[in-house]
Amino acid sequence: MEIEQRLTTLVFDKSDLKQTVYQATKNTFEQFRQTAKDVVAQFTDTAHRDHRQVHFDYTDRGDFEFEIKFAGDILLFAMHTNVFEFSRDHEVMKSTYIRENPQRSYCGVIHIYNFLSDSFLYHRDNDLGYLIGRVFVNMDKHYFIEGKRELGMLYNNFGSSLISNESVQSIVLSAIEYTTNFDLLTPPYDEVKVVSVGEMRSQMDQKSLVTGKRVGFKFQADTE
């Protein structure tokens, strides 16, 4: 009976914790959604005022996804519906903040991906996108970011970083900055210089010429 009671308490407590984390993450994601709309509106106004030929667009893709499109790029924000915990070896787990209350290590996750807008426009299903950052949010709405350059190096103090309208705007703008600086590179010439007629026909029929910012395009000669 004691074992059953202890197990029941564990199940209910863990369920309550995960529900709290999920709701905190969902609320944060809605902050990201509204901020993205505001940022797109601001950039659009600036482009019109300065007669710039750069278009910013916001697209809602459902309860857990939205995208910002600008200058040939797409930033896709996607919230995972499950709750995760950091591994024991993760740097976050060594912090005083987590040691004081291990429940703080349970987090929801918001992923930020970068795609080429042409990949969607021309239905190039084999093109590559890049995860440029992921935002972890816990029950207290503290957050931690793993990511590239502008994202990863600026927001990594889990114990003191709280989600706010200002922090969310900073993350969105940093993601745009990183994406703008993350240029499309051509692949080495020798890797794509030979292709057979059959390979070309097959790949064109299947839309399988792979394009990505660090891939360029890909023929049979590519082995990675």
Residue 54's pLDDT is what?
A: 85
Rounded alpha-carbon distances, angstroms, from residue 19 to 32, 65, 75, 105:
20, 20, 28, 14
Residue 91's pLDDT is what?
A: 87
Largest CA distance in the chain: 74
Q: Left, alpha or beta for 216 (phi > 0: left; psi -120 to 50: alpha)?
A: left
pTM of the model: 0.83
Q: Where are the alpha helices (DSSP H) in 70-158?
A: 96-100, 117-121, 149-152
pLDDT in tens, 101-120: 999 999 999 999 999 998 88
3-class secondary-structure state, position 63: coil
Q: What angle do CA 144, 215, 116 make, to 5 degrees?
A: 65
3-class secondary-structure state, position 71: coil
Residue 175's pLDDT is what?
A: 93
Residue 224's pLDDT is what?
A: 40
The H or E element containing residue 109 is strand 106-116
On average, the pLDDT of the chain sits at 85
Q: What angle do CA 136, 160, 75 make, to 5 degrees?
A: 35
Residue 210's pLDDT is what?
A: 66
Q: Which of 168, 174, 171, 77 is nearest to 131 (CA)?
A: 77
Domain ranges within the chain, ordered by starting residue: 2-181, 183-224
Name the least confident of 82-86, 122-126, 135-139, 205-209: 205-209
